[in-house]
Structure 1
Amino acid sequence: MPTKAIVSEVKTLSCSNSWRNYFFLKITTEDGITGWSEYDENFGSPGVSAVIAELAHRLIGQSAFTHEHIREDLRNVTRPGSGGVVGQALGAIENALLDIKAKALDVPCHVLLGGKVRDRIRVYWSHCVSYRTRTEHFTPGITDIGGVRQIAREVGEKGFTALKTNIFHYDEQDRIEGWSPGFSRPHEPGRNVERKTRTDLRKHLQIMREEAGPDIDILLDLNFNGKTDGFVSMLREIEDLDLFWVELDTLDPKALAYIRSKSRHPIASCETLIGLQQFLPFFREQAVDVAIIDTPWNGVWQSLKIAAAAEAHEVNVASHNFYGHLCTMMNAHFSAVVPNMRIMEIDIDRIAWDSEIFTHEPEIRDGYLVLPDRPGWGTEPIEAALAKHPPLPTLGMPKRVSIPRLSL
């Protein structure tokens, strides 16, 4: 073995992504090998960096080759608070240790994970329309139906074969606005699905189909933006449309199984779950057609165990991936080795400096990501470039929206 890969330093870094922040973990060994991972504090997860800092001392002096031992040690000392941001911190640590191990052996990470079963991974253009409604960050911005039509055509023109979109309301002038009460936009704690939401959803999907054409697969993400009756009502509204899958989130596996029983479309879910134990009830209840795994949250090594359990239940998996290029490459190595992979998420609309802060960008040809054979994950952040874009002072969380004042 050319090195013992003994951990000597654990460091977190962050930079602005214009409308949120990127977060990275850098672990360095005594002999100068650096392992990187990307994690997130934007998607309902403030505090992951603080957890990593609290656990860092337990890594010092340990060999990255024993990443499973290290993770179990960290899981044991955090067991009463397992999951959530604690689970995500463990996932970030595991992923950085895997990068070290692969670099020490001078192999790409997919070799450590069992070896690739495919050289390229089909991807879908995620947040299609959604990101461009953030007109101050993405160009061209989308404010109305004309922009919706334009981006739907662009998907095929750029060689992609699938897109995923979200829920939008249209006003009388066909201006659009996203509808996501599950994320407090707007603040509607009941998450009730009214007639306008259903009819506008149908209108939006029909526009996307008209412009994208018959050969583009359309995926719909409903997120947490409903409860059981609301999800069923939306599925009923769009049951005759041609969709690749409908993605939605609920933490009750029996509720999801009921929703799936009422759907004519395949159901994808589970992207916010952490650990095999949380996934198993959804498999046992036959609640999903596709289980979405967030490998930055879970750790790629642990995600392989989840994918194997899904395979045993005749369920395919997909990669949850709406972060930076390092997360994309971590997901790509996972997707390349998992036999029961369905498709991989990727964001195509990017901020201006994404290409500056990573050593390599993902290579996408004809709607497929081509897996690199560079050691480790195949890309890493450039620290000097990160420093040029200081993180936003909001801990990565979205700005507070207006909440109706309650009378006391």
Structure 2
Amino acid sequence: MPDQTKIAPMSAAAPVETAILRKRTAAELAKIAGIETLIARVGLRNQLLVKITTEDGLVGWGESGLSGREKSVAATVEHYAGFLVGQDSRNIARIWQEAYRSQYFEGGRVLTAAISAIDIALYDLLGKRLEVPVYQLLGGKQRDVIPTFGTTMGKSIEQQLKDVTLLVDEGWICIRTYPGSFDDNDIFDPRATLAKTAEELIAIREKFGNSICLGVDMHHRYTIAEAADFCAMMPRGTLNFIEEPIRSETPEAYAMLRGMTDIPFAVGEEFASKWEAARFLDAGMTQYMRLDVSNIGGFTEAMKVAAMSERHYVDIMPHNPLGPVCTAASVHMSAAVPNFSWLETRQTAVEKLGYHDASLFPKQIEMKGPVYLLPEEPGLGIEVNEDALRSQTAEHVEGPHLKRPDGSVTNW
């Protein structure tokens, strides 16, 4: 008969040893095995996707938002891969800090665009690992659907009215326009475009009354004086928001413009950190936060900016001009924050941009009229046809190099 006093201690220790072994195995399996960038032409633009694979074969996808300078971001991701491979993919916040602080010259749009894509991919991985949608990792959903705003593409009053009518008929209540355009020689005359745009917006408001929220994206092409003149052309109540009227490098310039008009501002798509966002929020220089989850630093930084915005009673109105990965990330973030107005979509019947090619992305966030539906699948809830994506030859896409009528260079 065996000695029971010797067997008992071994039996008690075995479950502890087994638990330690299982924990160690889970950590090993969650280690990052590889980080890869894919640059492919999708529709009218290139998309830069980041693919992260873990030791157990799970794959997460992220997207960078720095359109037109994808090679710079890809090179940065390669730098980061040098020290991220082998790390536990579940330590997302710690990885964010190491990526941001691992160089003397922290921050900047190239670095944070790379961090964004990595961060989004890590959340996609963690959601798949825990078998929950990403928004559950962010605190759970605060809304059942994600309302969007649509954008017109018309180049005349008649076409603008036609575009708005189509969007309204399909259910959109928030609509954005653009202030004119540039000619085939990339000549941009700001004064001429502002007068034309003012006429279009006044005509839209007269036809549709107060039934819609109406905004205009000025694409930071104007000076303070030009933007102020444009605002003065608007009869009171014409515009509900004016987006990116001037460049955002100098907050004091925005403060000056803020004092010249009472039209709400929508600013933030160029921000690359919570520190940039904070200066505008603390000084009351934006009434809608246009953060871009694929540029500002992924979910980790976007959720902090959303919380800062909530403190100032500012809703987020996320920038979302790219493909299905960026859209999915934006939908999950929008679901999880309390202070939200509308998410940008480029998937209306008015815009035919090709960014959401179903042959390349066979599973995407579903859209029903003017709202995105929340996915129930683990992670981001998207699928990538990797073979098809790799077959797309990336073409150099250079943004317009605009000139004013006198030949001087201006912003695109």
Select the residue among 138, 142, 145 that pairs with 1:117: 142
- For each residue in 1:58-92, what CA deviation from the matched residue of structure 2 results, as whole angstroms up to 9, or x when unmatched? 11111111011112111121241421201111111
Aligned residue type for 2:204: M
Matching of residue 160 in structure 1 with residue 172 in structure 2: yes
CA contact (8 A) 1:45 1:84 kept: no
1:68-79 superposed matches below 5 A: 68-79=93-104
Whole-angstrom distance in 2 between the partners of 1:267 and 1:63: 41
Whole-angstrom distance in 2 between the partners of 1:73 and 1:398: 32
Select the residue among 257, 260, 280 that pairs with 2:258: 260
**1:329 Cα deviation from its structure 2 partner:** 0.9
Q: Select the structure of larger CA radius of gyration.
A: 2
CA contact (8 A) 1:123 1:345 kept: yes
**1:360 Cα deviation from its structure 2 partner:** 2.0
Structure 2 residue aligned with 1:232: 228
- For each residue in 1:239-277, what CA deviation from the matched residue of structure 2 results, as whole angstroms up to 9, or x when unmatched? 425322111243222221232232232111121011111
Select the residue among 29, 48, 56 that pairs with 1:31: 56
Structure 2 residue aligned with 1:148: 160
Structure 2 residue aligned with 1:220: 216
Q: 1:380 to 1:207 in 2, by over 3 A?
A: farther
**1:164 Cα deviation from its structure 2 partner:** 1.0
Whole-angstrom distance in 2 between the partners of 1:358 and 1:255: 42
Whole-angstrom distance in 1 between the partners of 2:182 and 2:202: 17
CA contact (8 A) 1:258 1:287 kept: no
- For each residue in 1:311-348, what CA deviation from the matched residue of structure 2 results, as whole angstroms up to 9, or x when unmatched? 12222222110100111110010011111112111112
Structure 1 residue aligned with 2:45: 20
Aligned residues: 374
Whole-angstrom distance in 1 between the partners of 2:188 and 2:213: 32
What is the aligned-residue RMSD (CA, Å)?
2.5
1:55-204 superposed matches below 5 A: 55-126=80-151, 128-129=152-153, 144-168=156-180, 178-179=181-182, 185-186=186-187, 193-194=190-191, 196-204=192-200
Aligned residue type for 2:394: P
CA contact (8 A) 1:122 1:344 kept: yes
Structure 2 residue aligned with 1:136: none
Task: With the length of structure 1 as denominator, give the TM-score of the two structures.
Answer: 0.84
Select the residue among 241, 244, 247 that pairs with 2:240: 244
- Structure 2, unmatched stretches of 5+, are 1-22
Aligned residue type for 1:280: A
Aligned residue type for 1:337: A
Structure 2 residue aligned with 1:397: 398
- Structure 1, unmatched stretches of 5+, are 130-141, 169-177
- For each residue in 1:77-109, what CA deviation from the matched residue of structure 2 results, as whole angstroms up to 9, or x when unmatched? 124142120111111111111111111111100
CA contact (8 A) 1:41 1:47 kept: no
Matching of residue 287 in structure 1 with residue 291 in structure 2: no
